[in-house]
């Protein structure tokens, strides 16, 4: 974490493995973001226990404790501000946010979705991928806009769909990619390498992620010998 790190609040509903990946990344020296709080709409979310064990402030805000969806989201917003959040990451947060909240955080709120958007919005993405017969599947990090899973795309990672894949096996392969992609995308946003303007993701060309050689997120360190397969799997 660097001294000018952006303050990030993560919203979860359950397991929190993407949240854990962001926490681990933020613990690295010079990472441009720090995780300052985790909010869950489920008091028993496993992710809350994990975040608390890492010394991160956590807060459960259950929908049933509030009279309306708007009141729930206002409490979430107040809690994000209470943590001093500057960026919000949705990581398996299983509720649609009100347009009011989304609009307030426009350009500063991102989500990870387990499919190559705009394919397979919503739930059951791995089943839909298998049923459709696509040979590539993956995950997307995008800015959050009021319409579900439709905001401007920041980064995507693709994985192969293999002939014998079950939903579970494919989900695991995508999840591994999610855990690499989300920290990269947050890094890009936190350092100002990407922003949202007129409903589009705008990349700052000075960013190391979008220089000509490093246009693609790669699993391998960049070198003159480009590993095309690794590059093709991490394409912003
Ligand atoms: C992930 O697949 C994420 O892409 C989706 O919900 C799942 C959450 O998993 N939005 P986890 O809670 O991060 O383990």
Mean pLDDT to the nearest integer, 194-217: 72
Question: What CATH number does the domain containing 129 carry?
Answer: 3.40.50.170
| 113 CA → ligand 1 middle, Å | 7
**Does 214 score more than 80 pLDDT?**
no
112 lines ligand 1 (CB under 6 A): yes
16 lines ligand 1 (CB under 6 A): yes
Answer yes or no: is 215 within a domain.
yes
Mean pLDDT to the nearest integer, 81-105: 98
Mean pLDDT of the chain, nearest integer: 90
Over the range 116-131, which residues count as b (16 or more CB within 10 Å of their CB) and which as e? Answer: bbeebeeeebbebbbe
Domain total of the chain: 1
Answer yes or no: is 82 within a domain.
yes
pLDDT of res. 230: 56
178 lines ligand 1 (CB under 6 A): yes
What is d(CA 143, CA 139) in angstroms, rounded to the nearest whole number?
14
Answer yes or no: is 229 within a domain.
yes
Answer yes or no: is 213 within a domain.
yes
The tens digit of pLDDT for each residue in 218-232 reads: 444 444 444 555 545
> Which atom, in ligand 1's list, is nearest to the CA of 93?
10
Residue 186: name the closest of 212, 209, 162 by CA.
Answer: 209
Answer yes or no: is 131 within a domain.
yes
Answer yes or no: is 1 within a domain.
no
Known catalytic membership, residue 137: no
What is d(CA 144, CA 147) in angstroms, rounded to the nearest whole number?
8
Catalytic residue (one of 50, 72, 113, 137): 113
Coil, strand, or helix at residue 220? coil
**Does 88 score more than 90 pLDDT?**
yes
pTM of the model: 0.90
What is d(CA 144, CA 4) in angstroms, rounded to the nearest whole number?
24
**Does 211 score more than 80 pLDDT?**
no
The tens digit of pLDDT for each residue in 34-64 reads: 999 999 999 999 999 999 999 999 999 999 9
Answer yes or no: is 98 within a domain.
yes
| 72 CA → ligand 1 middle, Å | 22
Residue-number span of the structural domain to which 125 is assigned: 6-235
Give percent above pLDDT 70 in the chain: 85
Answer yes or no: is 84 within a domain.
yes
């Amino acid at each position: 974490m660097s001294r000018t790190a952006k303050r990030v609040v993560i919203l979860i509903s359950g397991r929190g493995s993407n949240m854990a990946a962001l926490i681990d990344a933020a613990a690295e020296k010079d990472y441009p973001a720090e995780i300052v709080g985790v909010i869950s709409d489920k008091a028993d979310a496993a992710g809350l226990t994990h975040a608390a064990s890492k010394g991160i402030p956590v807060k459960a805000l259950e929908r049933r404790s509030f009279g309306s969806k708007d009141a729930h989201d206002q409490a979430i917003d107040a809690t994000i501000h209470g943590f001093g959040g500057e960026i919000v990451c949705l990581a398996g947060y299983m509720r649609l946010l009100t347009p009011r909240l989304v609009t307030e955080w426009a350009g500063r709120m991102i989500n990870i979705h387990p499919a190559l958007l705009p394919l397979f919005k919503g739930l059951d993405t791995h089943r839909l991928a298998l049923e459709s017969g696509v040979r590539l599947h993956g995950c997307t990090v995008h800015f959050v806009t009021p319409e579900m899973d439709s905001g401007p795309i920041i980064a995507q990672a693709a994985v192969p769909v293999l002939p014998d894949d079950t939903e579970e096996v494919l989900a695991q392969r995508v999840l591994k990619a999610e855990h690499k992609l989300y920290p990269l995308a947050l890094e890009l946003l936190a350092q100002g390498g990407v922003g949202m303007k007129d409903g589009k993701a705008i990349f700052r060309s000075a960013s190391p992620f979008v220089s000509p050689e490093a246009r693609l997120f790669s699993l391998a360190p960049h070198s003159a010998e480009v590993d095309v397969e690794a590059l093709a799997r991490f394409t912003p």
